[in-house]
Amino acid sequence: MPRKLLKRFMPDHKAMQEHPHLQKFGQRLTEPKLWHLNRKSIAGGAALGLFIGFMPIVGQMFVAAALAIFFRVNLPFSVSAVWISNPLTVAPMYFYAYKIGAWVLQVPVGQYSFELTWEWFSHEFLAIWQPLLLGSFICGIIAAVIGVIVVRIVWRLIVIRNWLQRRHKNKNS
């Protein structure tokens, strides 16, 4: 089962309960559904993380963790899937999200240069925020759906492979 492989990388449930920094969250982090390794929980966590990964917000990991607790999906997978947007991928992701949003809103794609200044945020960002947010939302939904499909297919293929290996092993015994 894929569960055995995943359990090697998952933190111990008791260690999470006894960790001094995590005790302030109380019983919320000890909810079994947040750590349960099944197809539905992992697919939900992956979908949530992929969706949040496309949102142009600060603190994506914290948002994904809070939403994983709220929706009771696999917490580690939701937080890890956020890393689809990392320093190497964030610029192309948001550029294409902006282009998709501009296409849907039928707004011409402008030539903008990015500068980390207040002037840029007050002038340039105001011109691109609507297409960027819409495109990010669309890309996030698509990534979430693809994530669910991929997790469910991979999970199913691993289960079938293990079943066939057991069947083959029992025939030879």
pLDDT at residue 97 in the model? 93
pLDDT average, residue stretch 58-66: 90
Which DSSP helix (H) or strand (E) runs through 39? Answer: helix 39-53
- What span, in angstroms and rounded, lies between the C-alpha atoms of 1 and 59? 33
- What span, in angstroms and rounded, lies between the C-alpha atoms of 42 and 6? 10
pLDDT average, residue stretch 120-147: 88
Residue 126, sorted as left (phi over 0), alpha (psi -120 to 50) or beta, turns out to be alpha
pLDDT at residue 169 in the model? 82
pLDDT at residue 27 in the model? 66
- What span, in angstroms and rounded, lies between the C-alpha atoms of 33 and 88? 32
- DSSP letters for 47-78: HHHHHHHTS--S-HHHHHHHHHHHHT--HHHH
- Statement: residue 78 has pLDDT above 50: yes
pLDDT average, residue stretch 55-77: 90
Domain count, the chain: 1
pLDDT at residue 91 in the model? 86
Question: 55 near 61, Cβ under 8 Å?
Answer: no
- Statement: residue 135 has pLDDT above 60: yes
pLDDT at residue 1 in the model? 46
DSSP 173: -
- Statement: residue 74 has pLDDT above 70: yes
Summarised one tens digit per residue, pLDDT across range 110-129 is 776 666 667 767 777 777 88
Whole-prediction pTM: 0.80
Query: Mean of the per-residue pLDDT values for the chain?
Result: 83
Summarised one tens digit per residue, pLDDT across range 22-46 is 666 666 666 767 777 888 899 999 9
- DSSP letters for 87-148: TTTHHHHHHHHHHHHHHHHT-PPP-----SSHHHHHHHHHHHHHHHHHHHHHHHHHHHHHHH
Range of the domain at 84: 2-172
Place of tokens 């693809």: 146
- State the burial class of residue 144 (Cβ atoms within 10 Å of its Cβ: 0-12, 13-18, 19+): buried
